Amino acid sequence: MKRILFLIVAACFLVVSAYFAFIYYVPFSEGYRSGELIRMSHKGVMMKTWEGELSQGVSGSQIFRFSVLDSDQKVIDDLNELQGQYVKLTYEERYKTFSWWGESRFFVKAVQKESSPFKYK
């Protein structure tokens, strides 16, 4: 009886571990988004996460919401510095998110400043 109980507990542990490993290591998609960085904030009550918004339209109707992991401190610093400017974001989309990661399933991995196509010289 103890052996059967041990096998059931071990199987449950393996299934849960495989689920978390899949969520953590396997991205759903990867890509780029460009637009004006309109918001970057550190929000939350119990678990603070970095959240941002990128305006991809002229009127601001197309908003791309994203999160940044706390371990990507260079990306956080770059986004805070480039707020209000036109940027290109490199992101990964995850299957699911956890509350300690952020609100969005989109996680920014890199940011670079771009020239805005809406400003004429």
Q: What is the pLDDT of residues 15-56, one digit of tens each?
A: 999 998 888 888 888 999 988 888 898 888 888 889 999 988
In this structure, is residue 2 part of a structural domain?
no
| Residue 36: count of CB within 10 angstroms of its CB | 19
In this structure, is residue 3 part of a structural domain?
no
Q: What is the pLDDT of residues 61-93, one digit of tens each?
A: 788 899 998 888 999 999 999 888 899 999 999
In this structure, is residue 58 part of a structural domain?
yes
In this structure, is residue 33 part of a structural domain?
yes
Total structural domains within the chain: 1
The token pair that represents 22 in the structure block: 């899949």
In this structure, is residue 21 part of a structural domain?
no
In this structure, is residue 67 part of a structural domain?
yes
99 Cβ contact list (under 8 Å, min separation 6): 47, 49
pLDDT at 100 (0 to 100):
75
2 Rama sector, left if φ>0, alpha if ψ -120 to 50, beta otherwise = alpha
pLDDT at 9 (0 to 100):
95
Domain with 63 in it: what CATH number? 2.40.50.140
Amino acid (1-letter code) at residue 34: S
Confidence of residue 120 (pLDDT cuts 50, 70, 90): low
70 Cβ contact list (under 8 Å, min separation 6): 49, 50, 76
pLDDT at 24 (0 to 100):
81
In this structure, is residue 44 part of a structural domain?
yes
Can you give the pTM of this predicted structure? Answer: 0.76
In this structure, is residue 120 part of a structural domain?
no
pLDDT at 59 (0 to 100):
65
Q: Which domain holds residue 78?
A: 27-113
